[in-house]
Amino acid sequence: MSRSAPNVLITGGGIGIGRATAETFAQAGYRVIVTDILDAGQTVADAIVAAGGQAEFHPLDVRSTADADRIVADVESRFGALDCIVANAGIAHRVPMAEMTDQTWDHTLDIDLKGMLRVIRPALAGMKAAKTGSIICLSSIMGVAYGWDEHVHYSTAKAGVVGLVRGLAVELARAGIRVNGIAPGYIRTAQLLSEEHSLGPAGAEKAGDFIPMGRIGEPGEIADVALFLASQAARYVTGQVIVVDGGLLVGRY
């Protein structure tokens, strides 16, 4: 077992915010456990290793309790307790409420909210034994402040993330484990640029007109906040959901 580097497990690490987070943590000296349902996660891990960092890829559908348990146990057996988890995997599909089925609703919450539980739960014993750990969960401005029409299931899941962060932070604080969240605003990801499910390229650029900083965000700007929350610089921060939106929420009157 080697403790030469702190360990971070990232879900949805193959693209977008997850990929940027994997790269950012690798540059900071972490051993990065990239997980994703997409094969792109392997590309991310390979690129980190090629650049001199430490990373490995594990295919993971966060709907699978068995797979999440297995991956965490495997990583712990070889490298020790996880130092950090970034629960980032999620989906956001446009579905009007009149067309919402139980299956569609459950599918979104199973990934966007319960998927976090599945990777956090098996890591807690190791973190408690080590008396340290940082858990970071991705919410959204659509979960902390805005409603999003035709994405009610997504907003519901992301609002649930806020409750998860607050409750778990209190439960784990005396064990030395910090739990925080990030609520991104409009960030340049494949999800945001989807014409079918979000703003699309033209809408994303127009969004800059009403964001005080004059532009949408980049994935790396979320990754940097995640790295801060994982670091000793945030050692007295827990139970918080930090909005990263270029001033969008405070600038809309």
Query: Which residues participate in catalysis according to the annotation?
Result: 154
How far apart CA 36 and CA 40 sit, in angstroms, is 8
How far apart CA 220 and CA 116 sit, in angstroms, is 21
Inter-residue contact 18 to 48 (CB < 8 Å):
no
How far apart CA 48 and CA 178 sit, in angstroms, is 27
Angle (deg, nearest 10), helices 40-50 and 16-27:
20
- The residues that bridge with 187 in the sheet, in sequence order, are 217
**Inter-residue long-range contacts of 38-46, CB under 8 Å, 24+ positions, other chains counted:** 38/14, 39/14, 40/14, 40/15, 41/13, 41/14, 43/14, 44/13, 44/14, 44/19
